[in-house]
Amino acid sequence: MNLLSRSLLTSLILLAGFQLNAQQKAASISFENEKYDFGNIKEEAGLATHNFAFTNTGGEALIIQRVTASCGCTSPSWTKEPVPPGGKGLIKVAFNPKNRPNKFNKTISVYSNADKKVVVLKITGNVIPKPRTIEDDYPYTLGDLRMNTNHMAFVKVIKGQTKKAEVKIINTTDKDLEIAFDNVPAHIKLTVTPQLLKAGQKGNISGIYNSDMLNDWGFVVNRAYIVINGVKDRKNMLTISATLTEDFGKMSDEELANAAKIEFKEKQFDFGMIQQKTSVEHEFTFTNTGKSDLLIRKVKSSCGCTAVSPKEKVIKPGQSSSVKAIFSSGSRVGRQNKSITIITNDPKQSTVILRITGEVEAPKTD
């Protein structure tokens, strides 16, 4: 072997030794298992935990910098002290099965100063749902009556449409309950089946919403009261809601092209900083850029502190108008965010949200 070959061989041996020594010096994390299957666990059993054991198989102290889980249902904890070479540590994982029935597959990412910077652990399993109780199925109580909801929601109701909704009820007492209603608005009809609810018996409250009998638009809330055995109690309230909208789906392409169209100059106004017990006004101007009369169906503010008033209810094609908003600060303090809802016969944007923002300064104290 000549001198050059010997020199090259020596260099390669030294380089390999240096790399091996460097690898031995670095921390290295080795888990006994990187995946764990909990199998079947009961929802009502509480936290399910597992310890992922690891060893530092490197040559330097191992430091776990952070551990993150793929969702809030999984809470990890870990060995916080540096783990010396050959030492052992734990990543403890706790999974909460509450309200999480059926199979799950979660990941836990372990970040450290090891040669492999991130190790991903996995937990799997199947949550057996807890047996449902009467309280689960009928969580709301109105006097002696239990209900699956205290809100009868008709959701979207097209003007001219009659729509039905239902609330489930049960008598969990040992006495009969006679059900009746009070303060029911004319456009809503409520009936109960059966009217006399025997002990332990289930029934239904049925509602019929007649939109033709109501001169209103948008989100509308009414409140009726359930009378039990002739007793009227204002606490026994049933909330009834619907969003009344126009049926634009039946319009032809020609009708849509010739429809009204509302265009606002601006949809947000920031009044800056004002004092308590003062007010600020702003006019939101708009134009009917369509080919038919624009009808202002409804103008509603998000709270009573914002008064609104449209100048006209019918705006001709090409005509402009405005909606005046008056914000009264009263005793409010801090950042304010209020909205005004405009409902029109524009088929492309029948509902427009205007926003008023600003800051109410707290009174100065000596």
Burial 211-234 (b: 16+ CB within 10 A, else e): beebeebbebebebbbbbeeeeee
Q: pLDDT digits over 253-264, tens only? A: 999 999 999 999
Does 350 lie in the same domain as 288?
Answer: yes
Does 123 lie in the same domain as 78?
Answer: yes
Both structure tokens of 162: 């009659």
- Looking at the structure of the chain, the number of domains it has is 3
Q: Which among 198, 215, 245 is the end of a domain?
A: 245
Confidence grade of residue 366 (pLDDT, cut at 50, 70, 90)? low
pLDDT value, residue 7: 53
Residue 18 lies in a domain: no
Record the pTM. Answer: 0.69
pLDDT value, residue 309: 79
Indicate if the pLDDT at residue 14 is higher than 50.
no
Does 138 lie in the same domain as 124?
Answer: no
Q: pLDDT digits over 127-164, tens only? A: 999 998 999 999 999 888 999 999 999 999 999 999 99
Does 142 lie in the same domain as 205?
Answer: yes
CATH code of 106's domain: 2.60.40.10
Spatial distance between the Cα atoms of 187 and 208, rounded to a whole number of angstroms: 8
pLDDT value, residue 72: 83
Confidence grade of residue 363 (pLDDT, cut at 50, 70, 90)? confident
Residue 21 lies in a domain: no
pLDDT value, residue 22: 44
Q: Using DSSP bridges, classify how beta strands 177-182 and 151-158 pair: parallel, antiparallel or unpaired.
A: unpaired
Nearest Cα to Cα of residue 306 among 348, 338, 262:
338
Indicate if the pLDDT at residue 271 is higher than 80.
yes
Residue 238 lies in a domain: yes
For residue 245, the tally of other CB atoms under 10 A from its CB is 19
Indicate if the pLDDT at residue 5 is higher than 80.
no
Does 223 lie in the same domain as 176?
Answer: yes
Contact, 148 vs 137, CB < 8 A? yes
Residue 13 lies in a domain: no
Indicate if the pLDDT at residue 21 is higher than 70.
no
Spatial distance between the Cα atoms of 297 and 210, rounded to a whole number of angstroms: 18
Does 122 lie in the same domain as 96?
Answer: yes
pLDDT value, residue 15: 46
Does 188 lie in the same domain as 106?
Answer: no
Residue 74 lies in a domain: yes
Helix, strand, or coil here: 6? helix
Does 239 lie in the same domain as 257?
Answer: no
Nearest Cα to Cα of residue 199 among 227, 171, 178:
171
The owner of tokens 């050059």 is: 4
Residue 4 lies in a domain: no
Q: Which among 245, 267, 283 is the end of a domain?
A: 245
Contact, 206 vs 191, CB < 8 A? yes
Helix, strand, or coil here: 156? strand
Q: pLDDT digits over 37-73, tens only? A: 999 999 999 999 999 999 999 999 999 999 999 888 8
Q: pLDDT digits over 193-249, tens only? A: 999 999 999 999 999 999 999 999 999 999 999 999 999 999 999 999 999 999 998
Ramachandran region of residue 325, left (φ > 0), alpha (ψ -120 to 50) or beta?
beta
Spatial distance between the Cα atoms of 61 and 47, rounded to a whole number of angstroms: 32
Domain residue limits at 119 = 27-128
Q: Which residue has the higher pLDDT, 156 or 6?
A: 156
Does 298 lie in the same domain as 357?
Answer: yes
Does 65 lie in the same domain as 41?
Answer: yes
Residue 177 lies in a domain: yes
pLDDT value, residue 25: 76
Residue 8 lies in a domain: no
Contact, 123 vs 74, CB < 8 A? yes
Residue 194 preceded by cis peptide, ω within 30: yes
Nearest Cα to Cα of residue 56 among 17, 110, 122:
110
Indicate if the pLDDT at residue 17 is higher than 50.
no
Q: Which among 96, 128, 160 is the end of a domain?
A: 128
User: In the predicted model, what is the mean pLDDT of the chain?
Assistant: 91
Distances (CA, A) of 299 to 81, 217, 308: 63, 9, 7
Indicate if the pLDDT at residue 4 is higher than 90.
no
Q: pLDDT digits over 286-344, tens only? A: 999 999 999 999 999 988 778 787 888 999 999 999 999 999 999 999 999 999 999 99
Does 146 lie in the same domain as 121?
Answer: no
Q: pLDDT digits over 67-117, tens only? A: 999 888 888 999 999 999 999 999 999 999 999 999 999 999 999 999 999
Does 110 lie in the same domain as 150?
Answer: no
